[in-house]
């Protein structure tokens, strides 16, 4: 049975599971992005309310990213052993409920603990949706499908900016965190409409026949010669995500504190920037299906390395507004990571492996908000954001050591070598 095979029954959307899975994964990842961005948008108000330094505020982001790193192992393992669908629902429930709980935080320590717990759900979504799409869509359109689902990230950022525009003036940062409960809509959609992955069910049955109910051990992502790819992919994700989160955690504060924007104008800048990112996901998803995922990722890293420091030094507000989406266009490598990292692992460890590489990378990047906040204390946020370009350069250099990958029905081969059954 291939990724296009149907099971005995699918929901009312029809027998083809591709589209409803696409919609469910898009919703879940979009609300995942909302939750991540809510903290960045709320930080200026939280700093003022609790009297925090920039370093202390950055540690709240760090706590969440540590939770994200842990969740890649916990929820990735759960997805490979118990199914993509229940793991995706669990991820959304965890981050939605603990994000709402942050609205009732009494101080810095409450926020640190609750953000850590929310991170335990936030990190599970990426690996599960990447595996889901890889197992549901055919190889020739997998890059576009993965890029579309992961383009829910900038859509989520735009939604978070709109929520901040509506809620911050009247209800403050606590009202903004309460909006995290909207993610429950995505969990309900997956529960009601999205079927389990046919490839996962088939692989689960095969392994049970051969090995019984023994769970898939985490160490399998390092066996059979996979250790080098796993560690390199994790290092690439760590460098890219350090650059990304170092930029995006402080971007709202940078626009307000160093470029003099009021909160309403700041949200406009972020919306325009994320529209550019959404367009980039669609463009580079198409490009990846033509020239390959590795070449597309390298192109994005090279452009970001050059453009991000230029953006950080622009002082003219009109130029800053329109240069933002140009930079964000090349943040589309996140969408290509989904199909590329999933292709590195066979079906029975796909969610664990892809989630491990991406989210351990996010965990390593956890200290970027704190470190760059400390640099900003001595210099400026514009200097901190400009330095993030160095991490994209390092990610690109490491990416040159990775293979070109192609997948066919769950089997992984270097490009140009036919996949076998």
Tens-digit pLDDT profile for residues 249-284? 778 888 888 888 887 788 888 889 989 988 998 898
The residue among 327 and 208 whose pLDDT is bigger is 327
For 155-207, the pLDDT digits (tens) are 998 899 889 888 988 899 999 999 999 999 999 999 999 999 888 888 778 87
Residue ranges of domains in the chain: 19-194+223-414
pLDDT-above-70 percentage for the chain: 90
- pTM of this structure: 0.74
CB 324 within 8 A of CB 311: yes
Ramachandran sector of residue 263 (left: φ over 0; alpha: ψ -120 to 50; beta: rest): alpha
Q: Look at residue 412 and give its three-state secondary structure.
A: strand
Contact 356, 221 (CB under 8 A): yes
Would you place residue 210 in the very low, low, confident or very high pLDDT band (cuts 50, 70, 90)?
low
What are the b/e assignments for 267-280, b being 16+ CB within 10 Å? bbbbbbbbbbbbbb
pLDDT in tens, 362-374: 777 777 777 777 7
Q: What's the pLDDT tens digit per position in 381-391?
A: 888 888 889 99
CATH class label, 19-194+223-414? mainly alpha
């Amino acid at each position: 049975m291939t990724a296009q095979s149907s099971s005995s029954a699918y929901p009312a959307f029809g027998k083809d599971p591709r589209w409803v899975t696409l919609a469910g994964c898009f919703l879940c990842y979009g609300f995942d992005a909302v939750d991540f961005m809510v903290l960045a948008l709320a930080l200026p108000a939280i700093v003022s309310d609790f009297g925090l330094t920039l370093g202390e505020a950055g540690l709240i982001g760090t706590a969440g990213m540590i939770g994200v790193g842990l969740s890649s192992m916990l929820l990735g393992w759960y997805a490979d052993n118990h199914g993509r669908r229940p793991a995706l629902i669990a991820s959304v429930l965890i981050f939605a409920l603990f994000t709402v709980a942050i609205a009732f935080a009494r101080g810095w320590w409450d926020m640190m603990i609750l953000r850590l717990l929310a991170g335990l759900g936030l990190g599970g979504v990426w690996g599960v949706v990447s595996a889901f799409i890889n197992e549901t869509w055919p190889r020739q359109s997998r890059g576009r499908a993965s890029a579309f689902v992961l383009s829910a990230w900038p859509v989520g950022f735009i939604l978070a900016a709109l929520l901040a525009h509506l809620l911050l003036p009247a209800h403050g940062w606590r009202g903004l965190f309460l909006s995290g409960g909207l993610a429950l809509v995505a969990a309900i959609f997956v529960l009601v409409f999205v079927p389990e992955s046919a490839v996962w069910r088939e692989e689960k049955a095969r392994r049970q026949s051969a090995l019984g109910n023994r769970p898939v051990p985490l160490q399998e992502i390092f066996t059979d010669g996979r250790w080098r790819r796993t560690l390199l992919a994790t290092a690439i994700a760590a460098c890219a995500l350090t650059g990304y989160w170092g930029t995006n955690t402080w971007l709202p504060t940078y626009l307000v504190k160093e470029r003099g924007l009021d909160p309403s104008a700041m949200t406009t800048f972020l919306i325009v920037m994320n529209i550019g990112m959404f367009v980039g996901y669609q463009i580079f998803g198409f490009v990846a299906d033509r020239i390959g995922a590795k070449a597309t990722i390298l192109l994005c890293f090279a452009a970001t390395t050059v453009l991000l420091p230029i953006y950080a030094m622009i002082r003219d507000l009109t130029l800053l507004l329109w240069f933002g989406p140009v930079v964000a266009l090349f943040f589309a490598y996140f969408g290509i990571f989904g199909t590329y990292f999933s292709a590195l692992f066979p079906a029975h460890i796909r969610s664990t492996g892809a989630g491990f590489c991406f989210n351990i990378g996010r965990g390593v990047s956890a200290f970027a908000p704190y470190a760059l906040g400390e640099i900003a204390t001595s210099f400026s946020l514009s200097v901190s954001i400009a330095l993030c370009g160095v991490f994209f350069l390092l990610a690109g250099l490491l990416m040159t050591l990775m293979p070109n990958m192609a997948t066919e029905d769950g089997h992984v081969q270097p490009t140009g070598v036919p996949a076998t059954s």
